[in-house]
Amino acid sequence: MDMKNKVSITVDRDFQIAAIDKRIYGSFLEHVGRAIYTGIYEPGHAAADADDFRLDVLDAVRGLNVPIVRYPGGNFVSGYNWKDGIGPREKRPKRLELAARCIETNEFGTDEFMKWSKKAGADTMMTVNLGTQGLDSARELVEYCNFPGGTQWSDLRKKNGAKDPYNIKVWCLGNEMDGPWQIGQKTAQEYASIAVQAGKAMKLVDPSIELVVCGSAMPSLPTYPEWEREVLEHSYEQADYICLHSYYGNQSGDTDNFLARNIAMAEYIRTVESICDYTKAKLRSRKTMMLSFDEWNVWYHSNEADRHIKHWAVAPAQSEEDYTMLDALVFGSCFITLLNHSDRVKMACVAQLVNVLAPIIALPGGPCYCHTTYYPWKHVSEFGRGTALRAAVNAPVYDCADFEKVPYVDAAVVLSEDESAITIFAVNKNLEEALPVTLKLNGFTGYSEAESITMHSPSADDGNTPEEPNLVVPARGNSVGFEDGLVHTILPRASWNVIRLRKK
């Protein structure tokens, strides 16, 4: 092995980033494509329970230990009347869903989702419609979900079968409101006005809730980042988070550039942080604004197929990605980036959870299986609870179209909550060579028992399919050795890796 290709990672116990908020491992379910219908919900399926929730899908979701799920959108929410989705199903109206140009049956709504999320063991991040609706609809939804009883909407919730309030603590004030595709698109001034007033009313109903204001829909829009500045100057004291949305694709086929997309994610986070801190200084506020990266994922495989969707169908297949090992590398690097910015990113949602841009595919009437992206998510959610430590990574680099000196290795290090384990998450982006790694731990003693998990494949284009659902899955990794207080291992080429050190 060429010495210049060796990698070193140095970690010091005292150099901490932050306590990790478990909600960065969150997800998203929207009424789009087959995410809900024939995704988490399929009446008549052999694996459906008494509520028509697919138990095989629930088992896969529980395997991710998802702490919070955003619902019901997404672009969908800006044309959605939540009152259409409650009460007797036979009385619920079918509606034209304009965001995706399909038919929404409203067979599944707020109460069904809250039942499902309880079974999944996840909290809810509820989004209110600030596109076609506004203050009244938002405050009434909070009353329906969170007020104990004795009022019109809380008593209606009880009548609909939910005696106890849902106590939803996180609420998004609209979705991507500067996007030209958004129903009810608004200027920053228009959005800030309705968001502040709706947020005020919502917190009067339940002062314990946290509010997320919309950032710009994507960094490529001309409104970004001026949108963030203007919205925050109006809503800074009302809001608890500002959201970020971004997707990463390889439409051009430039693999080196695709593998560096997590650098774009990091730059996006730093830019929004700086706007938050500028606003804090301008307003002489004592509050530090936190970030909710509540839509992110890899998205490009399904773009062509989505152009041919037949309009006005019920739950047509849409944005169903066939993820590969290459995608899992980018996906894992993005999770590493979130961990390394966990001082400000307190919530994040992979968009989405089932069928649509999803790690879990549920075949209508058939089984479900997991894509390659399922496994990095499972690992960070399981082993990434605790304190993020600063990792100084010295690795070989390459240049690509958008970035210079891109490291071949991305890494994040987490000290468990009880300090009994240290976990290193690492991606080797080198598609040709394995890379030896030396890990130096400063300020730690007694950590010697080690194991490693790795996921790689003969081809970076390999992925899981209904015919071969376990083609690309994690396995026991290379041995981990100790010498003179240093940890040594080898990262296979094009691999996702988890290295675990435990106290004796």
Catalytic positions, written as ranges = 176, 295
Rounded Cα gap, residues 373 and 395, in angstroms: 24
Under DSSP, the state recorded for 401 is: S
d(CA 441, CA 461): 35
The arrangement of strands across the sheet holding 481-483 comes to: 475-476, 447-455, 495-503, 421-428, 409-416, 386-394, 7-19, 435-442, 486-491, 481-483
Of 57, 64, 119, 44, nearest to 369 by C-alpha is 57
How does DSSP assign 91-141, residue by residue?
Answer: GPPPEEETTTTEEE--SS-HHHHHHHHHHHT-EEEEEE--SS--HHHHHHH
Find where tokens 């079968």 sit.
161
Tokens standing for residue 61: 């979701």
Question: Scanning the structure block, which residue is given the tokens 């228009």?
Answer: 190
Q: What length does the chain have?
A: 504
Residue 483: CB atoms within 10 Å: 8
Relative orientation angle of helices 152-159 and 135-146, to the nearest 10 degrees: 50
Tokens of 308: 């041919």
Residue at 439: amino acid letter: L
Axis-axis angle for helices 55-64, 374-383 (nearest 10): 50
Cα-to-chain-centroid distance, residue 462 = 23
DSSP code for 310: P
Please enumerate in sequence order all residues whose Cβ is within 8 A of that of 192, keeping only pairs 6 or more positions apart, or say none. 213, 230, 231, 233, 234, 235
CB within 8 Å of 422: residues ≥ 6 apart: 11, 413, 414, 415, 416, 441, 444, 447, 500, 501, 502
**What is the rounded CA–CA span in Å between residue 370 and residue 380?**
16
